[in-house]
Chain A
Amino acid sequence: MKRRKIASILLVGAMVGSMLVGCGQKGDDAKAESGSDGKEVLTVMCPGTASDTYRETYQEIADDFSKDNEFGVEVKYEFYEREQFKTKLTTLMASNSVPDIFFTWELDYLKPFVDGGKVYELTGELDGDTEWKDSFIEGTLDPLTYDGKVYAIPTQSTLATMYYNKQIFEDNGVEVPETYEEFLEVCETLKNNDVTPMTLAATTAWVPAEFVQQLADGIGGMDLYNGIVDGSKKWNDEAHIEAGKEVQNMIDKGYFQDGMLGMSEDEAKALFQQGKAAMYYMGAWEVSTFINEETTPVSSDIGVFNMPAKNPENDGIIVGSVDSSYAIAETCKNKEAAIAFLKYYTSVPAQEKLVYDQGRLPSIKMEFDESKLKPLVIDVMEVSKNAKGMTPWWDRVFGAGEGVEFNNQSLAIFGGDDVQTAFDDLESFAENNADR
């Protein structure tokens, strides 16, 4: 009897112990509250995984700021995988326990948090420091402005572009296409020479969506974008239908890699990185990966061009927006320090680090030392300079509801669904979703 008692006490102890262990553990990425030498800590929450090289650069910028600032604070990054980040941020928002500074996407992503009064308004700070306000490239603050008030600071700008392998182009005697017809011809020639013209990940819905949006931009131009934003145009607009049909035409002709529908982002990208595909349509952030010769054997052969528009008058209208914006939580205790950090982040030294080390386009007006820029970065800047208009990704404009649904329907189109039905479905989703 006694032995049994002891055994049961031990068991209970073990159980409680294991529960405590479960509670106490934190992910590798989550850092403790107080910093080294007892400095006050500002926490920045940001998406990123161990394979993202930009994490180091971000932390370096934070360390530079921490080293000497008048507030004596230390800035620490907490990185989370992208989907985990989204879940975590919304949960923390609802329970009022967001970290001091958080990464955010622009437009509709931040809007509910702004409406809920969870985000610190920065208009006053910007107006109080016009030098800071004027340092931003025109229009970059607009996607983060709600009711005339600015709530977040863009730290980068970005766009989607067509990467191509110069070597493959040369070997097959094709040149960078200037018109849409030429683009199709390039694909056709490559295809006939048994080269995979394009690689694309069709398991992650926003990737095909990005491509459909670019084609639609080339057909409908800014009118289409503005029309859908202000509601005067419907999702099943002619331009969208035409773009969808163009995509299916390309798929039928075999312009994308075999097995596209089952390929993840990394797999599709790897084909391009290893020189097994000639073109890859993706955001400019991928430059960080492509300038790294260890991961990208064909690094020195990569160039970019602007996807030609089907209606030539829309040439130069591309998918792009501001990127990696930072907002300050209303609950942040040391807002002055947080603002100082944002100012430092958007100052020339920090932005230089981002552009020279990671190839990220700055959000501020600045001069570059061309010798320090990688050739690919110069190419991307050229595309950016020639852009006549930018349409932010739909899932940023409309957030998770309609935006994600656009991604889903684009994926369905890549999977061979009827284009008209897909966009009709999207339109009826959009109409119903408004009152949920």
Chain B
Amino acid sequence: MNKIFGNKKNIALFVLPAFIIYFIFALVPIAYNFYISLFQTDLMSPGKFVGFQNYVNLFKDGTFLKALKNNVFMVIGSLIAHLPVALFLGNILFQKIKGSHFFQTVFFLPSVICGVAVGMIWTFVYNSEFGLLNRILEVIGLGDLQQVWLSNKEIALFCIIIVVMWQFVGYHMVIQLAAMKNIPDSLYEAAKIDGASKWVQFRSITFPLIKHILKIDAVLIITGSLKYYDLVAVMTGGGPNHSTELMSTYMYYQGFRTLKYGYSAAIGVILLLLCVCAVWLSNRIFKSEPIEY
């Protein structure tokens, strides 16, 4: 084995198929996307070269700015649910309590269901006429709080963010839990003998030792919520009146509905840049050394 992989040519040969696929389906589209973002085009008639005009227009477009803002809310909401909350849940299940496997499965379950199905389920939950939520509010005597949840533009976005938080909290919890389980038991035993409380154990042993995983997780969370699409598309389609529009849904709308593909491509480029920035930033913030136990 070592002989084969000792040769750089062989390595290249084995990487090649994957690279070709990656090149055709990722790099070329990104480059082409940037290219058409410089045009005003519906991809049917010959386009008009406008340089960076699409980008200038984007930052004058109220709907895009709103989508950007909504994305920021989405990132914040996801970060809250998928770092502290997931970590808290993960740490509880890490304590070898009874039925921790069962709860692990329960928390993980929503992230296994496909996004469209989750969207359908919650659309019914939020339905103003026969939805579960309004019904519960009525039964417990809080009928005044009943809302047309997904049609009220003040709160529709937050209704969706809550679903996103709910859907993926288990997923991130499992990632973090797996990292915790990698930590040798001997460390905790030593800490116990020294009389460290659970909180001190978490703060001084668990957290520092899973920091590198948290970093990767944070990158996943941020990029995931920046390019988030499916729940919004299913539950509100960006409405009412663009109030739940995210960058990705607005990109879809400008591309496939208004046929302004150049403009839509420009949104795609901004989205890509933001994701790259987010990755870079979280790399900076969570700077960590590789760990040897």
Measuring CB to CB, which residues of chain A are less than 8 angstroms from any residue of chain B?
86-87, 90-91, 93-94, 112-113, 115-118, 202-203, 205, 259, 261-263, 267, 399-401, 404, 408-409, 411-412, 415, 417, 425, 429, 432-433, 435-436
Contacts of A86 in B (CB 8 A): 256-257
Q: Which of B43, B60, B262 contacts A432 (CB 8 A)?
A: B60
Determine which residue in A86, A116, A259, A262 has the highest number of CB atoms from chain B within 10 A of its CB, and name it: A262
Q: Is the CB of B53 within 8 A of A435?
A: yes
Q: Which of B44, B60, B254, B262 meets A112, CB within 8 Å?
A: B44
B242 interfacial contact with A, CB 8 Å: yes
Q: Are B240 and A411 in contact (CB under 8 A)?
A: yes
Task: Say whether B256 contacts A90, CB under 8 Å.
Answer: yes
> Complex Cα distance A433/B254, Å?
10
Known: A267-B129, A408-B241, A408-B242. A436 touches B54 (CB 8 A): yes
Task: Decide if B217 is an interface residue (CB 8 Å cutoff).
Answer: no
Contact of A399 with B258 in the complex, beta carbons under 8 Å: yes
Contact A436 B151 (CB under 8 A): no
Most buried by B among A118, A409, A435: A435
By beta carbon, the residue of chain A nearest B238 is A408
B100 at the interface (CB under 8 A from A): no
Q: Which residues from chain A contact B152 at a C-beta distance below 8 Å?
A: 261, 415
**Contact digits for B12-37, partner A, Cβ 8 Å, 1 yes 0 no:** 00000000000000000000000000
CB contacts (< 8 Å) of B254 on chain A: these are 436
**Chain A proximity mask over B40-52: 1 for CB below 8 Å, otherwise 0:** 1011110000000
Residue pair A261, B153 in contact (C-beta under 8 Å): no
| Closest A residue by C-beta to B63 | A429
- Asked if residues A404 and B257 are in contact (CB atoms below 8 Å), the reply is yes
Interface pair A261/B148, CB less than 8 Å apart? yes
Q: B241's contact among A113, A261, A412, A432, by CB below 8 Å, is which?
A: A412
Which residues of B lie under 8 Å from residue A435 when comparing CB positions? 40, 53, 57
B151 pairs with A113, CB closer than 8 A: no
Docked pose: A328 CA to B153 CA in angstroms: 41
- Is the C-beta of B179 less than 8 angstroms from some C-beta in chain A? no
Are B151 and A262 in touch, CB under 8 angstroms? yes
B172 located at the interface, meaning its Cβ lies under 8 Å from any Cβ of chain A in the complex: no
Smallest beta-carbon distance B40→chain A, Å: 7
Q: With A113-B44, A399-B258 given, name 11 new contacts (CB 8 A).
A: A94-B43, A112-B42, A203-B150, A205-B241, A261-B148, A261-B151, A400-B258, A404-B257, A425-B62, A435-B53, A435-B57
> B82 an interface residue at 8 Å Cβ cutoff?
no
- Smallest CB-CB separation from B147: which chain A residue? A262
Contact of A115 among B40, B44, B60, B128 (CB under 8 A): B44
CB-CB < 8 A to B61: which residues of A? Answer: 432, 436
A94-B44, A112-B42 known; A412+B57 contact, CB < 8 A: no
CA gap between A116 and B62 in the complex, in Å: 29
Contact of B260 among A259, A411, A415, A436 (CB under 8 A): A436
Q: Is the CB of A404 within 8 A of B40?
A: no
- In the complex the two chains form, what is the Cα distance from A118 to B44 in whole Å? 8
CA–CA, A203 and B57, complex, Å: 29
Contact mask B53-89 → A, CB, 8 Å, 1/0? Answer: 1100100111100000000000000000000000000
CB distance from A25 to the nearest CB of B (A): 16
The interface residues of chain B lying within 8 Å CB-to-CB of A113 are 44
**Please, how many angstroms separate the alpha-carbon atoms of A362 and B242 in the complex?**
37
Within the complex, the shortest CB–CB distance from A29 to chain B, in Å, comes to 18
How far, in Å, is A407 (CB) from chain B's closest CB? 9
Report how many A-B pairs have Cβ atoms within 8 Å: 94
Instruction: A436 to B265: give the CA distance in the assembly, Å.
Output: 11
Nearest CB of A to B212, in Å: 30
Is the CB of B171 closer than 8 A to any CB of chain A?
A: no
| Nearest Cβ on chain B to A325's Cβ, whole angstroms | 18
B40 near A436 (CB under 8 angstroms)? yes
Chain B contacts for A205, CB-based, 8 A:
239-241
Q: Say yes or no: A408-B239 contact (C-beta < 8 A), given A112-B42, A435-B40.
A: yes
Q: Provide a sorted-by-A list of 11 A–B residue pairs whose CB atoms are within 8 angstroms.
A: A112-B44, A116-B43, A205-B239, A261-B151, A262-B129, A263-B128, A263-B129, A399-B259, A404-B258, A412-B241, A433-B258
Which of A202, A261, A400, A412 is close to B259, meaning CB atoms less than 8 Å apart? A400
Q: Specify which of A93, A112, A408, A425 is in contact with B240 (CB 8 Å cutoff).
A: A408
Chain B residue nearest in CB terms to A90: B256
| Cβ B257 vs Cβ A262 within 8 A | no
> Is B206 interfacial (CB-CB < 8 Å)?
no
Which A-chain residue is minimally distant from B236 (CB atoms)? A203
A412 to B263 CA separation, bound complex (whole angstroms): 25
Q: In the assembled complex, which residues on chain B have CB atoms less than 8 Å from the CB atom of A412?
A: 153, 240-241
B253 / chain A contacts, CB cutoff of 8 Å? 400
Given A112-B44, A411-B240: A202 and B258 interface contact (C-beta under 8 Å):
no
1/0 per residue, CB under 8 A from A, across B235-269: the answer is 00001111000000000011011111111000000
- Among A87, A116, A117, A415, contact of B151 (Cβ-Cβ < 8 Å): A415
How far apart are the CA atoms of A203 and B129 in the complex, in Å?
13
Residue of B nearest to A408 (CB): B241
Minimum CB–CB distance from A262 to chain B (whole Å) comes to 3
A401 engages B151 (CB within 8 Å): no
Residues in B whose Cβ lies below 8 Å from that of A263: 128-129
Q: How far is the CA of A93 from the CA of B54 in the complex (A)?
A: 23
Asked whether B91 is an interface residue with its Cβ less than 8 Å from the other chain, the reply is no
Q: Given that A409-B241, A436-B57 are contacting pairs, would A262 and B127 also be in contact in the complex, using a CB cutoff of 8 Å? A: yes
* Separation of A261 and B257 alpha carbons in the complex (Å): 24
CB distance from A77 to the nearest CB of B (A): 23
- Expressed in whole angstroms, the Cα–Cα distance for A205 and B57 within the complex equals 25
Contact B151 A203 (CB under 8 A): yes
Q: How far is the CA of A115 from the CA of B261 in the complex (A)?
A: 15
Q: Would you give the shortest CB distance from A9 to chain B, in whole angstroms?
A: 18
Residue of B nearest to A428 (CB): B62
Q: Which of B127, B149, B253 has the most CB of A within 10 A?
A: B127
> B151 to A93, Cβ gap below 8 A?
no
Find chain A residues with CB under 8 A from B262 CB.
436
